[in-house]
Amino acid sequence: MSEPWWRRRRKGGSHPWFYISDEFDRLEDMIDRMMNKAFETPTGKAQTHRPYIYGFSISVGRNGKPVIREFGNVQKSRFGPQIREEREPLIDVLEENEDVVIVAELPGVERNDIQLHTTEKQLTVSVDALTRKYHREVPLPVRVDSKSAQASYKNGVLEVRLKRFGEKQFKGKKIFVE
């Protein structure tokens, strides 16, 4: 394949703009090499059939400070990032008047595959399906009545409602931990 006309035309020129054009050509070649390397098929140990999923959400906490929550299947470790088979779903915990509402994104699973376990201080969400695996232990901001749990699942979004214990039922001092 022959060179484009604009490259042939400037080869003999001594104008400063031609030197800038050479820098752009080098930049274009570097980008081409990077893109080719990015789309190469991995070989050996690097080849995997699991997707890498990582994300985060930022919200405002009770004290007005930002709260950052991570989700996905990439986990920090001493040896660098590790890819887990189970994903951590994106979960929001909302406090309403008498309820604590937990909203979890669980795309690609059936209602029957979802397993929930709750205690007064924690909710565990897990899914062990052929196509997707999720697991997350969610600490709750207040004590809840685990027997009052109601769950609904629609369009990949799980909503769990738990009644909080009344003020009379607390023993000791009520403490909020951020």
CA angle 43, 71, 93 (to 5 degrees): 165
Within 10 angstroms of residue 114's Cβ, the number of other Cβ atoms is 19
Q: Is 0.75 topped by the overall pTM?
A: no
CATH number of 54-169, picked from 3.40.190.10, 2.10.10.90, 3.40.630.30, 2.60.40.790: 2.60.40.790
Q: For the segment 70-80, what is each residue's pLDDT rounded down to a tens digit? A: 877 777 778 87
Q: For the segment 14-50, what is each residue's pLDDT rounded down to a tens digit? A: 555 556 677 778 888 888 888 887 777 655 555 555 6
